[in-house]
A and B are shown apart, each in its own frame.
Chain A
């Protein structure tokens, strides 16, 4: 069965997915096909269902209705677990206790834990993979620092290294640049794009950082009210008119905001 589905060539194939959170419907019938190697930007107002879309790809969200096929596997409540080992996930910057007794290298190693499975300890190869990942994200010099001592941008680099150590096939990013300064935003964006190309990943990138999207994305998905509202190549889609409808703001306001954002 799974072989047949795999042959259609899509890494992610979501068909009419309905997901609810408490009383609210977070996704009301979303269909999306993502080819292997595609870089998709997901844009939309808060509460549009962007994060939920990511959680059904890595099996953390519960489907009420519809079908999700990821890497040829039909996602059920039972197999999300094994699938997650092949899906890297980077969330927003979280505050970490500065006294947390873990160093950067150990945090990156967590990416290997799922793949290692129970009862197995990280070996020499695993540490080599972790060190290589840290080198790729430019964190080698901080490898022995306590994780809580890093800045937000540095923490996100470590999170990306953790995903790399996982050796995933799909890369999910949920506003990884939120709350970072402008320089860090650009750096992280470029790093994600570089790693996407280098490791031949399929990437879903949720962001509000519109200015960076056209450079990186093959396709942009616009979400609103739990539905995919529009999708297509970034240049045609990210116009002031379309964004004003997406965010329910007058065109003039969108124009002003975007020009301000470009100046930052």
Chain B
């Protein structure tokens, strides 16, 4: 096998980006899956997209615009769902449609060619710079670090928020922090994977891990492994067949998910439940 690909700086950057982005996105995806809020990833990536377009239109760094918008969306979604007595998915939907509208508005207001805007939608892991990687690394370390330090609070909050509150855990702050981390992760990985495709890198590895384990710790670890594998395998396929990397990464993560469903021990839940009580669990 020709190993020369690993000597190219752009490929090294891409491999690092896939590693960091894969970990951050898929670990965040565990929350998306366990909180039953799959739509929130789409909402935040569109917020980041709208923010980046604002940056392009007004001539400041799109990454800064993306951060402001997605963190803003994260800060609004939680309280809106809590105080407005809305279903969280409804509040996510409201924000999502607003962000989509703003994205179109900013794109319409932009003069000249729209290629930079479209690049944001598709993303390109192969053009990542050292700066992109530093941002990704900061976010990945932040996400993993916070989960590590506040694991028990996060576990309780994700399981049943009211119950977590009732035992004296600051569950509301925990949930809002999780949403905040989601916004940061999506923004940081956004330019590598692209606004449209990032959602699958969040959802698929976590959804695959969800099929395979009854331990939340293992779910986080498995999701991270699947996320990194999706990125690396996708990159290789993209390189050897000369096709867009965002697409190959997404397809790889989907294949991993399908395999997880096929081999899931949880599909046998029904049969297992019929065993008499007291029998040892596997």
Residues of chain A whose beta carbon lies under 8 Å from any beta carbon of chain B: 22, 58, 60, 81-85, 87, 89, 91, 94, 97-103, 106-107, 110-111, 113-116, 118-119, 121-122, 141-142, 144-147, 149, 159, 162, 166
Contacts and interface: CB of A to CB of B under 8 A. Distances in A.
B277 A141 contact: yes
Nearest to B266: A99
A110 B156 contact: yes
Contact of B166 (A84, A97, A115, A122): A84
Interface stretch (B93-101, B211-219, B237-245): B211-219
Interface in B189-233: 210-211, 213-216, 218-219
B215 A103 contact: yes
B163 A144 contact: no
Nearest to A122: B152
B16 to A, nearest CB: 29
A101 B163 contact: no
Contact of B214 (A22, A84, A103, A162): A103
A101 B150 contact: no
B38 to A, nearest CB: 14
Contacts of B169: 110, 113-114
B178 to A, nearest CB: 15
A204 B46 CA distance: 48
Interface residues of B, number: 36
Contacts of A159: 163
B1 interface: no
5 contacts: A91-B166, A99-B210, A101-B213, A113-B156, A119-B149
B167 A166 contact: yes
Interface string B165-202: 11111100000000000000000000000000000000
Contact of B160 (A94, A142, A145): A94
A81 B219 CA distance: 30
A146 to B, nearest CB: 4
B258 interface: no
A89 B168 CA distance: 11
A214 to B, nearest CB: 28
A110 B277 contact: no
Contacts of B266: 98-99
B153 A60 contact: no
A97 to B, nearest CB: 8
Interface of B: 34, 36, 85, 149-153, 155-156, 159-160, 162-170, 210-211, 213-216, 218-219, 266, 269, 272-273, 277-278, 281
A184 B162 CA distance: 24
Contacts of A145: 281
A22 B152 CA distance: 32
Contacts of A142: 277
A144 B279 CA distance: 11
Contacts of B164: 110, 113
Given A98-B269, A101-B213, 5 more contacts: A81-B168, A85-B167, A110-B152, A121-B152, A147-B159
A101 B218 contact: yes
Nearest to A89: B166
A149 B277 contact: no
Given A98-B269, A103-B215, A145-B281, A118 B153 contact: yes
Nearest to B152: A113
A141 B279 CA distance: 8
Contacts of B160: 94
Contacts of A122: 152
B149 A101 contact: no
A82 B168 CA distance: 6
Contacts of B269: 98-99, 149
